[in-house]
Amino acid sequence: MSTWKYLLRRLGMGFFVIFGVLVFTFILSRVVPADSARLFVGVRARPEQLEAARERLGLDDPLIVQFANYVGGVAQGNFGISFRTKRPIIDDLKVFLPATLELVIPSILLAIIIGIPIGIYGAAHRGTIFDQIGRVFTVGGASIPVFWFALILQLIFVGLLGWLPLGGRLSRDIIISTPIPHITGFYLIDTIIDGNWNAWWDALKHLLLPVVVLAAYPIALLSRMTRTSMIEALSGDYVTAARAAGLPQRTILYKLALKNAILPTLTVLGIEFAFSITGAILIEIVFQWPGLGKYLTDSILAADFPVVLAVTLIISFIYILINLIVDMAQAVLDPRIRLE
């Protein structure tokens, strides 16, 4: 099967999954035992206000029309209006989603930079003291409770040393004196575009602790997966033949073994990236980070169902997109996958 046919097949599968999520979220929004119009205008609303809200939300239309409007709106980026904030949900997502991604993307990059080399080194020096230290490190990173790790880092770097801020995305004096214009929603990027280097440094300091906490588990997972895959790859006949031919160890590790060992790691990496978006909820709460997780938590507590459904759709789309990227990367590295 050619690469393009494989890509089209994966896109088709992703389309059906997205459509299934749309159907599920629409049905869920209609079976929840709550009056959406009353939630929107408040419990003390007059009948005419309720009727106006139902008309504005399209609740008086037939279900098939409501579903068509729902799908059409989502396709255009219109997820409805938040009951809690009374703003279009897409406007809220433009603020909260980049904040979460600004945590997730650096944490995954940190996991790649640290976790994969640890796994490669451990497999190449199996049984040595450095391998044992690396295994202890990864087991600790995988088993340590996130909230406890976050509190310990806050105690050390905030309480004892005073090097880093406790939480939030910016210091109060920066917000008041030199506010950051909303361009991309990523503070580290927006401050560079604006030339506001004081705010950039402040945003970086606020980012360090939550990124380290969020990266702890992916580092451990990638390290263990890479080590296991590399040990299996290094035991292959082609590696034995390469060593007999006198190829350098570096060539054997990075050009032969790693190419085969990286495939399972890529799968785990994609899943972990998507999972980190939802897994960041607890970290955002501990560090008072105004991201998607905190937005979702506040919406659940306020019974803001449109927001819950919109976030569900966004996360589902991210899962599908990441899996598609991982599948294509694996198909490029191993053409046999396209034949499955």
What are residue 270's phi and psi, to 5 degrees? -65, -45
Kindly state the tokens that stand for 126. Answer: 């199996």
pLDDT value of residue 333:
65
Task: Tell me if 231 is assigned to some domain.
Answer: yes
Report pLDDT digits (tens) over 139-188.
777 777 777 888 888 889 988 888 888 888 888 888 888 888 888 888 89
Point out the residues of the chain with pLDDT beneath 50: 339
- Closest alpha carbon to 23 in 64, 79, 76: 64
**How many domains does one find in the chain?**
1
User: Cα 152 to the chain's mean position, in Å?
Assistant: 24
CATH number, domain containing residue 226:
1.10.3720.10
pLDDT value of residue 339:
46
Task: Tell me if 146 is assigned to some domain.
Answer: yes
With beta carbons less than 8 A apart as the criterion, state whether 270 and 326 touch: yes
Task: Tell me if 127 is assigned to some domain.
Answer: yes
pLDDT value of residue 267:
77
- Closest alpha carbon to 214 in 67, 301, 324, 100: 100
Question: What is the DSSP annotation of 35-100?
Answer: -HHHHHH-TT--HHHHHHHHHHHTTTS-HHHHHHHHHHHHHTT---B-TTT-SBHHHHHHHHHHHH
Task: Tell me if 116 is assigned to some domain.
Answer: yes
pLDDT value of residue 211:
92
Task: Tell me if 68 is assigned to some domain.
Answer: no
Task: Tell me if 245 is assigned to some domain.
Answer: yes
What are the start-end ranges of the E strands in the chain?
none
pLDDT value of residue 204:
92
Element (H, E) at 177: helix 172-177
Q: Determine the longest span between alpha carbons in the chain, in angstroms.
A: 85
Task: Tell me if 281 is assigned to some domain.
Answer: yes
Domain residues for the domain of 129 are 102-291
> What is the pTM (predicted TM-score) of this model?
0.80
Using CA atoms, how far apart are residues 73 and 178, in angstroms rounded to an integer?
36
Task: Tell me if 296 is assigned to some domain.
Answer: no
Task: List CB contacts of 70: < 8 A, sequence separation 6 or more.
Answer: 22, 26
pLDDT value of residue 50:
66
